[in-house]
Structure 1
Amino acid sequence: MTAIDKRTHDRKFVRTFFTTPTAVEGEDDSAKMLKSAAGLRGMKAPDVWVPDNEDATAPNMREEGARNIIDVVSEHGAEFPGEIHPRVVWHRDSPSTRYQGFQRMLEITDPDNGAVEHLDGFVIPEVGDIDDWKKADEFFTIIEHEHGLEEGSLKMSVIVESGASELAMGKLRDEMGKPTNNLQRMFLLVDGEVDYTKDMRAITPTGGLPEWAELRHNTSRAASANGLIAVDGPYDDIRDVEGYHERMTDNRSKGMLGIWSLTPGQVVEANKAPLPPREGYWLLDADGREVELDHEDGVEVYEGDRVSIEATADGYVLSVGNDELAVDEAELEDELLDLLDYVPSLDDIVDSMEEFEAAKEAGRGAIAMTQSATVAIDGVEVDVSRDRMWDEATYQALQTPITLFQDVYGNRPDQHDDLADLYGENVLERAMDVGN
């Protein structure tokens, strides 16, 4: 039996969770947004597409929305490059709402309608405690039995939108694998911070959403403990690209590589953000602000005013914000190293992994990897270098970006040309071979 904390689905990672209204009121073709989303390809196409027959669709349009899902997915689903997981209505406190969701899932998955062969599962919102998750799972099992589908073939993803569902994540590991349920079908754990904020009765001075860092951590932890995938909720300021990137960067440090995308533009940003950069670059902590240095003729140049270096008769004066420090040349290098970090490119990561693999084959269990650069601040050039020990644990920990890349390349053939343009064919081939 597969260990419960091992990934059991073909996808190891999901970068993008893109929702689309299933029926738009007042349009000649109420399914026009579904049809548009079904035609997305390459970096504009999400890893998981969610025809949204819940919040994104008006209640009086949901019956028509369910029929639109059937029509669009049956016609275009075979060519869509990502997974397809419609969201249906559900609520932990409303049996009638749960029944509506069940009836629509039953209709959408009817083999006579032609859509189910292109569907991967369903997204269940507003779940409550673990018993509520098991109710949803039982409906999935009934649907599979009713339509002659393989038991467990429909994946179930949930949106964590309440304190009860957050606590339920802590019980999932004890429930999965029991003969009384099919919770092994679980796929995504998705945060829904808006409804979560309402459920928690939280208030902020501006009326904006709290960060809910603990929720994102708990969701990522539950995904790790149960072999699932964690996805953050929507970032609704769709013009704030920098803020979207900051949120994704913070999420990745928690192990949450996926995020909800509200527009094709956000899909592009979220598809690219977790991938290693084309070129490595140095970052400088400039008095609390991270600044990317400019690479000019082999030198990493800082041109801001938060950090300065002045040569003196006895050495140098290093200024960071309002702090000044008199140092000699060796001390200057040490101080700068404390302020510098290097972001490796895909090529850098592959180089390091290949070097360690070669060392391991030669019988060495650990090697030192050196990073070096010449940094220029106020015209003063300083050579810096640091050694990092690589052993098997380091190798395994730093394999995640490569595993992500390999998962994307293996599951998204429509993005091969984009990746080749970004990295070059030689780097792609080496990245697909390393670590295997």
Structure 2
Amino acid sequence: MFLHPNGLNTQSMRASKEVAVEESIRLRRSIISVPANREKMVVKAFSLPVDVIMLDLEDSVPFQEKDEARKRVVAAFREQDWKGKVRSYRINGMDTPFAYRDIIDVVEEAGDFIDVIVVPKVNDASEIKAIDYLLTQIEMRMGRTRRIGLEASIETAEGMLRAGEIAFSSTRLETLVFGVADYSASLTMMSKGISGHGDKEEFYPGHRYHFPLSMMAMAAKAAGLAAIDAPYGDYRDPEGLRRSCILSAALGYDGKWVIHPDQVEIINQVYTPSQEDVERSRRICEAHEEAKRAGCGSLAIDGKMVDAASIRVAKGISVQWERIKSRSEGS
């Protein structure tokens, strides 16, 4: 048995993650962030074909509107028809005076309607552990058995350095999210784009974010988590957006944040498994089940050996495709 440096049994954590994956895979191809204090934007988000709506209490909400924004988040969770979308909201950072109220005030009033909480600028595993403990206390006090998941945004050099520890910090954790703008700022990287969100990168001879994207994806997948890419800043550049999506998808990313409704279609397309991938996955899953029934320890398809990792990938694609079909039929 191997113990991770933070004291957690990684074998048991991996087993629990695999059970969770088989039971339910949340679709996270497209995630739109909506300022919780902007009612029109919140209402519009529910009409978009995104997989996740994230009500934001952090950067997009002025200090003087934080309290009112929490009330609006509670109302949205309790009153809106989410139509099968993942129900999410982002708290303020754990180094601010707002985070604890963002958790207590919202979760006590609307915890039964929340799927995940997004934690920004995570620099240390202790931040996720602290939120886990607080949520557990609230759930015990309120008599709730449904656990709220967590997503950790990796947005600094310090956070990226500890991405592995953060990924294994809590069984509530479902996702690591790459925050490109703040990450670039923390490294004092040169920026040519106005938004700082991955656009206008032609001045660099290569893929400037390949290393951090790969590093974070490795940490996420090692812990059985999803990996989500940062938004693309120029919403008037569809081809740039498509290239950005393809690059992160090729590195193992499951989805991308959206900053404008016009980006949704491209993002959903790129992060949806191709029909070829789906058919191949079905064949692998069916052959695996037949091999198990026959008591065979190995599996070959078309003269090629299929290992355990390929079977896990095939199962994940098959389940994801069923979720996508269900979403399409229900919309």
**Which residue of structure 2 aligns with residue 214 of structure 1?**
211
Q: Distance in 1 between matches of 2:41 and 2:212?
A: 31
Relative distance call for 1:147 and 1:242 in structure 2 (3 A) is same
Q: Distance in 2 between matches of 1:37 and 1:205?
A: 30
**Which residue of structure 2 aligns with residue 37 of structure 1?**
45
**Which residue of structure 1 aligns with residue 233 of structure 2?**
236
Relative distance call for 1:64 and 1:345 in structure 2 (3 A) is same
SS of equivalent to 1:149:
coil
Please give the residue correspondences for 1:350-389 in structure 2 after superposition, counting only pairs within 5 Å.
353=284, 366=300, 368=302, 389=303
SS of equivalent to 2:158:
helix
Q: Distance in 1 between matches of 2:113 and 2:289?
A: 43
Deviation at 1:232, TM superposition (A): 0.6
Match among 188, 211, 235 for residue 201 of structure 1? 188
SS of equivalent to 2:55:
strand
Deviation at 1:3, TM superposition (A): 3.4
Check if 1:404 corresponds to 2:285.
Answer: no
Relative distance call for 1:35 and 1:126 in structure 2 (3 A) is same
**Which residue of structure 2 aligns with residue 81 of structure 1?**
84
Please give the residue correspondences for 1:407-418 in structure 2 after superposition, counting only pairs within 5 Å.
407-410=320-323, 413-416=326-329
Most deviating of 217-226 and 199-208: 199-208
Match among 165, 176, 180 for residue 171 of structure 1? 165
Relative distance call for 1:56 and 1:359 in structure 2 (3 A) is same
Check if 1:267 corresponds to 2:267.
Answer: no
Counterpart code for 2:72: N
Deviation at 1:62, TM superposition (A): 2.3
Deviation at 1:401, TM superposition (A): 6.0
**Which residue of structure 2 aligns with residue 379 of structure 1?**
none
User: Gapped runs of 5+ residues in structure 1?
Assistant: 25-30, 177-182, 279-343, 369-388, 419-436
Q: Distance in 2 between matches of 1:126 and 1:354?
A: 38
**Which residue of structure 1 aligns with residue 99 of structure 2?**
101
RMSD, aligned α-carbons: 3.2
TM-score (norm 2): 0.79
Check if 1:135 corresponds to 2:49.
Answer: no
- 8 Å contact from structure 2 (residues 35, 60) kept in 1: yes
Relative distance call for 1:170 and 1:367 in structure 2 (3 A) is closer
Deviation at 1:412, TM superposition (A): 6.2
Please give the residue correspondences for 1:42-121 in structure 2 after superposition, counting only pairs within 5 Å.
44-46=49-51, 48-77=52-81, 79-91=82-94, 94=95, 97=96, 99-111=97-109, 115-121=110-116
Q: Distance in 1 between matches of 2:239 and 2:77?
A: 34
- 8 Å contact from structure 2 (residues 154, 178) kept in 1: yes
Q: Distance in 1 between matches of 2:90 and 2:238?
A: 26
Task: Please state which structure has a larger fraction of its residues in strand.
Answer: 1
Match among 296, 305, 328 for residue 391 of structure 1? 305
Q: Distance in 1 between matches of 2:130 and 2:172?
A: 13
Q: Distance in 2 between matches of 1:216 and 1:405?
A: 25
Counterpart code for 1:22: A
SS of equivalent to 2:162:
helix
**Which residue of structure 1 aligns with residue 4 of structure 2?**
none
How many equivalent pairs are there?
304
Counterpart code for 2:247: D
**Which residue of structure 1 aligns with residue 36 of structure 2?**
22
Counterpart code for 1:160: I
SS of equivalent to 1:248:
helix
Over residues 110-165 of structure 1, what are the superposed CA-to-partner deviations in whole Å (9 max), with x where a residue is unaligned?
24xxx322111211112222223323333323333443333x81111111111221
Greater relative contact order (CA < 8 Å, ≥ 6 in sequence): 2
Relative distance call for 1:258 and 1:127 in structure 2 (3 A) is same
Relative distance call for 1:250 and 1:81 in structure 2 (3 A) is same
- 8 Å contact from structure 1 (residues 276, 401) kept in 2: no
Q: Distance in 2 between matches of 1:19 and 1:410?
A: 22
- 8 Å contact from structure 1 (residues 53, 89) kept in 2: yes
Deviation at 1:89, TM superposition (A): 0.8
**Which residue of structure 2 aligns with residue 251 of structure 1?**
248
Most deviating of 67-76 and 5-14: 5-14
Relative distance call for 1:4 and 1:400 in structure 2 (3 A) is same
**Which residue of structure 1 aligns with residue 12 of structure 2?**
3
TM-score (norm 1): 0.61
- 8 Å contact from structure 1 (residues 359, 365) kept in 2: no
Larger Rg, first or second structure (1 or 2): 1
Deviation at 1:367, TM superposition (A): 5.1
Task: Please state which structure has a larger fraction of its residues in helix.
Answer: 2
Q: Distance in 2 between matches of 1:32 and 1:277?
A: 35
